[in-house]
Structure formats: C-alpha cells, structure tokens
Amino acid sequence: MLNLIFCWHFHQPDYRDADGRYQLPWTYLHAIKDYADMAAHLEAAPDLRCVVNFVPTLVEQLDDYAAQFASGEIRDPLLAALIDPDLAGLDMEARRHLIEQCFKLNHPTMLEPFPAFLCLRVLWKAVEESGEVGLAYLSGEYLADLVTWYHLAWTGETVRRAHPELLALMTRGTGFTLAERRVVFDLCGDIVASLIPRYRYLAERGQVELSSTPHSHPILPLLLDFAAARDADAGLALPTAASYPDGAARAVEHVHAAVASHKRHFGRAPAGFWPAEGGVSEAAVHLLSASGVQWAASGEGVLRRSLERSGRSLEHKPAWITSPYRLTGSRTTLFFRDDHLSDLIGFEYKGWFGADAVRHLLHCLEEMRRQAPGPDPVVSIILDGENAWEYYPYNGFYFLSGLFAELSRQSSIRATTFSEYLELHPDAPRELPHLAAGSWVYGDFSTWMGDPAKNRAWDWLCAAKLAYDATVEMLPEDEAGSAEDLLKSCESSDWFWWFGDANPAEAVASFDRVYRQKLKRLYQTLRIPAPAYLDTPLCRGGGASEAGGVMRRGGA
C-alpha cells in the first residue's frame, strides 16, 4: 500500500502597514474562496486525511479581519469600498485605484465566464485612456457593480452552492444596491469568522493534522548563517553584513512564537512544521529538533543534493523519494516533497478536465506504488492551498471533489498525515548523514538572497536589528512588545521574495513601500531617528511588467 500525504500550505504575508491599514486584500479574498472551499471539500470527504499548514501571520490576520467585520471599523480599503454608501464621491485617485484593484484576478476563469463582469471591463478599457474625463464618466453605480462583482468572483465554488442569494446576484448581474452589497459583506464576515473553528473541528475529529511555520515566515537557515545561501551556489553574492545579528535567538523566537500562536488558535502545539519555503539546513533542523518539533518537510531538490553528497544513486527516483529521513544527531523526521506530483496540481492540471486530471494523478500514484521499494512507502504532495485554484475552472471544484472522493474509495492508496505515518511506522525513517541547505524553490535560496535589491534589504534589516539590540531593553514593556512585533514582521521571507526585477512592478513597489514603512516605524518605536535611505525605494529598477491579472507565488 502507498501512503499518501497531502500538505496544503496556507500562507499570506502580513499586508498591514505600520499603521495597521491593509495595503493588499489577499488574506480575506483567499479566505472567502480557497480556505473556505478546502474546508468544504474536506467536510464532504470525512475519510480523506491530510495535513493543513497554517502560518501564524495568516491566522492572526484572519483574527484581525473577523474583528473588523464585527466592529464595522474597516482598515482594508477594498473591503470598505464594498459597503461605501457614496462611491460616486470618491476622488479621481481613489476611483482609479479601486477600478484597477477590481480587475486583479485571473481573467479567463474569474472574469470572462461572467458577461456582466466582462462588460464592466470593456467599459473601463474604452475610457481608460481618457484620464480624469473617463474616470468621471463612470458613475457611482458602475463602481458599485464593479466592487460587488469582484467580491462575487472571489467567492469559492462551494460558497456559491451553499448560498443561493449569491447566485441570484450573479444571475441578475447589474444594479446592485447598498443593501445587497451589505449581504455580500456580511457573508464574507461569516466565512472569515468560521474558518479557524472549522479547521479546528476537522483536527479534533482526527481527519486533519494542523501544522505550523516559524511565526512570520522567515528563512531560518539565512537567519542562522548567510553562508547557507552559498551551499548550492558558491559564487552567490551575499549582503555586506557578515551575518544576521544574533540570528539563532531570532530563529528560536519565531519557532516558539509559532507554537504559542498555534496553541491559542487550535488548542494544542503543532507536532510538525513546514519551514518557510521548505527552507532547511543542518543547523535549522537541529534547532527544530531542540525545540521538540517531531517532523519537518522540504523540497525534493534538497534531498537530491543531500543524497548526492552521501554518494547515493539517484537513478530510480521511487527508491529515494518514498521514504522519510532523519539527519544524524536529530530527532526531527524529514519528509520531502515530490516535485513532479505537487507541480502537476500546482501548475499543470488547471487546463485539464477535472475527471481526466484525477485519473492521471491516480495513475501516477499507482506507478509510484508499484515501483517503490520497501513495505511502507510514502509520497508527500506539498503545495499552496490557495494560489493554484483561481487558474482552475470553478476554483478547482471538480478536480478536488473528484480526487477526494476517489481517494476515499482506494484500497491500494491510503491518505494519511505525517504524524499518523510516523506513529504507524516508527522505524521507517532512513538516516541522512548530510543535509544540503536549500528550499523547495530550485533547491537553493537565490529567491531571497543574491540580487542587489534583496541583499540591500538584508543590510537594512541588519542595521535595524543592531539598533533594536542596543535600545529595546530601555523601552517600556508595551513599546518593547511593539518593537518585537515589528522586527518579526520585517524578518519575513516575503519581502525578499518580491524584491528585484523579476516580479510585476506594482507588486514590487507595494512590498517595497510597506517594508520601508515597517523599518521606519521600528526605528521610531525604538526612539531612534530612521536612516534617510528608508525614504528611497529599495528596488531601483522597475520590476517586470504585469499582463492580465496579478502574478502570484506558485507552488508551496
């Protein structure tokens, strides 16, 4: 029998600026679409077991959004626009920003299937080049229909099927009243508030294992040692700073903060971690082991390089990918993502008929079962639980529902969790004498270090950390806590992912701006003047162009 472990990674970076105002809306939009849909698919397949990984920065933003819905004090401009009674009164800059935001989605699956929404796009393209004259031409009714359609398009397929009032609005297509917009708003609030309880219940009944990630999604190996970035590329350019100041203590803080957050939200400590971006090194795994983490996971490329250094043959992939490992001297078991199977779901099946994709994946799994050596082979499929689905028709409804139903009936493939597998097969892990440092992305860390803008961001962070170390103990307790929160947020890997010229210019500029705002607020909290360079954009290039929709991070 083949043991199959799905690990759905739920992550959104902290999109709040230093004043707590949301700069990007992806947390609540993914909540009403992808996190709600995944919960519904799991609830409909109670015999299907899997792992769901919640990053604390996502969970804490869900808390914040739930509080906004409950209080009516909205700090997300897009969400506020949904119930704005006077959209006609928006100034020209606010109008343009709202319109541009409301077309940031995958058009073939989320806009073009809806004629009324597509018509709004056609009208905008017709007047866009007219400047303020064109903007003024578009009425408050146009803006109300647009912001309503955007939220309707971002609702999950299971949400629509459970709420006929949404389908009625989509069928009518135009003339949405403020009362109807409030119906959509209230439903979004109900979904967001229900998510953590739904997943907690799935965990308590034993269907789902909930895991975590170091608190603010930092790359632990880089906090511990910048030289880890050269493990896969000896010539990679490093920041000017020799290392991150007291990085080991910071890494431990992120792990401990994640455990505490997980306990608050889900009632127990996580047994395992998906380290941010699957980033591991020997030092990082020993740190996780010392913190009591029972399992962790990374990418196939890391395992491949690790085995090559040990002189292992890699010709027959099922012989080495279908087993967990344990680094010599560590108590943390390591699982490794099957890149081919994970990427089929993440990138390839979006263009297939759902039933065909299900049959193909099951065939691939049967081949793995047939070829895998040993009595207890395990395959790990690890990927984002959010980003792929907007590229699937119906948000992946037919693929996911069909896959979960078929797996529930399989006798030769057993869907399980990391912890359950280890409980049933405690002797399965193989010894791993050496562990290469790397991530799920190319097996290295070049996505977060090496580019001039990325390295400059690290140097600015190192300078802020030295200022923090020199002054935080002199601050009152509440201010010291605020400084700690800001520092953790600035240590997130997400900033470094976006910096450089490979991503859309608008997204790069947004992350650049928020990162510098947070660094400046950190200095202010420490009662130190912020360096003048924080007033200058860190990314001096323009970034890549953005064509049709918004570029998102793919994979895990």
- Mean local confidence (pLDDT), 174-178: 98
Q: Give the tens place of pLDDT for each residue, 125-137.
A: 999 999 899 899 9
List beta partners, residue 438: 280
Q: How far apart are CA 462 and CA 239, in angstroms?
A: 10
Q: How far apart are CA 132 and CA 373, in angstroms?
A: 67
pLDDT of residue 543: 53
pLDDT at 7 over 70: yes
Q: Give the tens place of pLDDT for each residue, 203-262.
A: 999 999 999 999 999 999 999 999 999 999 999 999 999 999 999 999 999 999 999 999
pLDDT at 351 over 60: yes
DSSP letter (8 states) at residue 530: P
Outline where 131-207 has alpha helix (H). 132-137, 140-153, 157-162, 164-172, 178-204
Distance spanning both ends of the chain, measured CA to CA:
26
Residue 387 banded pLDDT, cuts 50, 70, 90: very high
Asked if 216 and 491 count as a contact pair (C-beta separation under 8 A), the reply is: yes
pLDDT of residue 541: 55
Burial of 523-540, coded b for 16+ CB within 10 Å and e otherwise, reads bebbeeebeeebeeebbe
pLDDT of residue 507: 85
pLDDT at 349 over 50: yes
- Find all residues with CB under 8 Å of 412, minimum gap 6, and list them: 1, 2, 366, 369
Q: Give the tens place of pLDDT for each residue, 484-542.
A: 999 999 999 999 999 987 788 888 998 999 999 999 999 999 999 999 999 999 987 55
Pairing verdict, β 378-384 and 2-10 = parallel
Locate 59 and state its tokens.
């969970």
Q: Amino acid identity of 468?
A: Y
Q: How far apart are CA 300 and CA 294, in angstroms?
A: 20
- Mean local confidence (pLDDT), 261-274: 98
DSSP letter (8 states) at residue 531: P
- Mean local confidence (pLDDT), 190-210: 98
pTM: 0.96
Locate 417 and state its tokens.
């969790």
Locate 202 and state its tokens.
């799935």
Residue 17 banded pLDDT, cuts 50, 70, 90: confident
Burial of 421 (0-12, 13-18, 19+ CB in 10 A): buried
pLDDT at 50 over 50: yes
pLDDT at 467 over 50: yes
List beta partners, residue 334: 296, 325
pLDDT of residue 555: 34
Residue 60 banded pLDDT, cuts 50, 70, 90: very high
pLDDT of residue 546: 40
Residue 73 banded pLDDT, cuts 50, 70, 90: very high
DSSP letter (8 states) at residue 276: G
Q: Where are the domains of the chain?
A: 215-265+446-540
Residue 195: name the closest of 13, 40, 409, 427 by CA.
40
- Mean local confidence (pLDDT), 469-498: 97
Asked if 7 and 274 count as a contact pair (C-beta separation under 8 A), the reply is: yes
Locate 220 and state its tokens.
């632990």
443 three-state secondary structure: coil
Asked if 299 and 336 count as a contact pair (C-beta separation under 8 A), the reply is: yes
- Mean local confidence (pLDDT), 154-182: 98
- When the pLDDT of each residue in the chain is averaged and rounded to a whole number, the result is 95
Q: How far apart are CA 487 and CA 14, in angstroms?
A: 12
pLDDT of residue 364: 98
Residue 344: name the closest of 368, 320, 374 by CA.
368
- Give, for 382, the enclosing helix (H) or strand (E): strand 378-384
Locate 69 and state its tokens.
């819905």
pLDDT of residue 505: 87
Asked if 346 and 555 count as a contact pair (C-beta separation under 8 A), the reply is: yes
Of all residues in the chain, the percent with pLDDT exceeding 90 is 92
Q: At what angle do helices 178-204 and 36-44 cross, to 10 degrees?
A: 50
Residue 41: name the closest of 418, 402, 419 by CA.
402
pLDDT of residue 553: 44
Residue 310 banded pLDDT, cuts 50, 70, 90: confident
Of all residues in the chain, the percent with pLDDT exceeding 70 is 97
